[in-house]
Amino acid sequence: MSDLFFFGTLRHLPLLELVLGRSGDALKAQPAELPGHGVYQVADQPFPAIEERQGATADGVLVRDLSPADLDALNFYEGGFGYTLKPVAVHLADGSTAAAEVYFPEPGLWQAAEPWDLAAWVADWGALSLRAAEEVMAYHGRMSAEEVARSFPSIRRRAAAWLAGQARPGDGVHDLSRDVIVHTHKRAHLNFFAMEEMDLQFRRFDGSMSPVLNRSASMAGHATVVLPYDPVRDQVLLVEQFRAPPFMMGDAHPWMWEPVAGVIDPGESAEETARREAVEEAGVTIQHLEAVAQGYPSSGALGEYIHIFIGIADLSDVSGGGGVAGEGEDIRSKTLSYEEMMAGIDAQTYQDMPLITAALWLSRHRDRLRAEHS
């Protein structure tokens, strides 16, 4: 049996319960401190790290008598992020000390920022972290901790998208607690995207429940699409890049002309993503965003929710962009007149549906935008 001192996110009991796969009611837990150490926010990350710091004291909780199965689950959850157990002596409330182990990060792995606040983390990241941990632990025993960690940014994006979906209002007609019954939920594949399967029933329009059906979806998350438009010059900007899915579908032309697009990171708004991606992919500074639409591009197959914008911009001297090399992007851009783009839409030259949606919206609002921004 093992005794562990938790200083960070696993002090949040719902998260610890999820990772262990059991209720925390029977845990032998008590407050404890680790002198000579501090807990600090990791720079640009939503979690903390512990490090030796003279005069500091790390608050936490000591959990005793964790089983080998508990330890295996914890090592899986923490191990892929460069945290390993090391022995320490913690101080208890009665003045005694106790031997324990703590997950320390590898030296130099993370950069410490300000002192970490558990309550603030729970408020800002608790719900997202629980949802992400649910997906992580679904692969326990099926993948290595390192393999799951490589996909963790995508897992977090899907968690954020799920929370956003939960926050959207229902249709006022269906009660999901009664009208959808999930019999099994399998996370079948994990990489940049994930594949999920469910055996489920749904309420039919005649009031009865459907048979148990197997359904699957490719899970992506939230994404932003922005079509840069210069109302003074009446020009748009498109980007071209190789897209693997059309190639895998057998398409003879997998280099696609599209608007600027990118995934929304947790803590980032759709508008912030649009502005960031416009700079990264095309070297364009967006001056103003017009909301076009938001929704599912293919609700029968894709777990992806996209936000489409027209981005008002000066396209007189576009330079830079090209994508992020570290993400394998190789992107070129071109400017063309509004009329040229619409001729391509009418000729069905373009195969990217968000582009077609944005172009058709622009055709309805172009006169207003030119009057407002010329």
- Predicted confidence (pLDDT) per residue in 114-160, tens digit: 889 999 999 999 999 999 999 999 999 999 999 999 999 999 999 99
CATH of domain 2-148: 3.10.490.10
For position 125, what pLDDT does the model report?
95
Compute how many other C-beta atoms are within 10 angstroms of the C-beta atom of residue 173.
Answer: 6
Is the Cβ–Cβ distance between 70 and 78 less than 8 Å?
A: no
Distance CA 232, CA 172 (A): 44
The token duo for 161 is 């998208």
Compute how many other C-beta atoms are within 10 angstroms of the C-beta atom of residue 143.
Answer: 17
pLDDT higher than 90, residue 317: no
* Per-chain mean pLDDT for the chain: 92
- Which candidate in 33, 290, 327, 372 is catalytic? 327
Q: Could you tell me which residue, 374 or 369, shows the higher pLDDT?
A: 369
Confidence of residue 81 (pLDDT cuts 50, 70, 90): confident
Mention every residue, 6+ apart, whose C-beta is less than 8 A from residue 3. Answer: 62, 63, 64, 65, 66, 98, 99, 100, 101
Q: What value does the mean pLDDT take over residues 197-220? A: 96
Confidence of residue 318 (pLDDT cuts 50, 70, 90): confident
Confidence of residue 261 (pLDDT cuts 50, 70, 90): very high
Is the Cβ–Cβ distance between 302 and 218 less than 8 Å?
A: yes
Residue 327 annotated among the catalytic residues of the structure: yes
Q: Could you tell me which residue, 46 or 359, shows the higher pLDDT?
A: 359
Question: Which secondary structure element, helix H or strand E, spans residue 373, and what is its range?
Answer: helix 353-373
pLDDT higher than 80, residue 320: no
Q: What value does the mean pLDDT take over residues 233-247? A: 95
pLDDT higher than 80, residue 328: no
pLDDT higher than 80, residue 259: yes
For position 106, what pLDDT does the model report?
84
Q: What angle (nearest 5°) sits at the alpha carbon of residue 368, between those of residues 278 and 315?
A: 30
Q: What value does the mean pLDDT take over residues 102-119? A: 87
How is the chain split into domains, by residue range? 2-148, 221-373
For position 118, what pLDDT does the model report?
94
For position 54, what pLDDT does the model report?
87
For position 105, what pLDDT does the model report?
86
Cβ burial of 235 (10 Å; 0-12, 13-18, 19+) is buried
For position 110, what pLDDT does the model report?
80
For position 321, what pLDDT does the model report?
63
Please give the share of the chain, as a percent, with pLDDT higher than 70: 98
Q: Which of 6-10, 81-85, 296-300 has the weakest average pLDDT?
A: 81-85
Name the CATH superfamily, with its identifier, for domain 221-373. Answer: Nucleoside Triphosphate Pyrophosphohydrolase (3.90.79.10)
Please give the share of the chain, as a percent, with pLDDT higher than 90: 74
Q: What value does the mean pLDDT take over residues 318-342? A: 82
Summarised one tens digit per residue, pLDDT across range 13-70 is 999 999 998 887 888 889 999 999 999 988 888 889 888 888 889 999 999 989 999 9
Q: What value does the mean pLDDT take over residues 2-19? A: 93
Question: Which secondary structure element, helix H or strand E, spans residue 161, and what is its range?
Answer: helix 152-167
pTM recorded for the entire structure: 0.88
Size of the chain, expressed as the number of residues it contains: 374
Mention every residue, 6+ apart, whose C-beta is less than 8 A from residue 341. Answer: 236, 238, 359
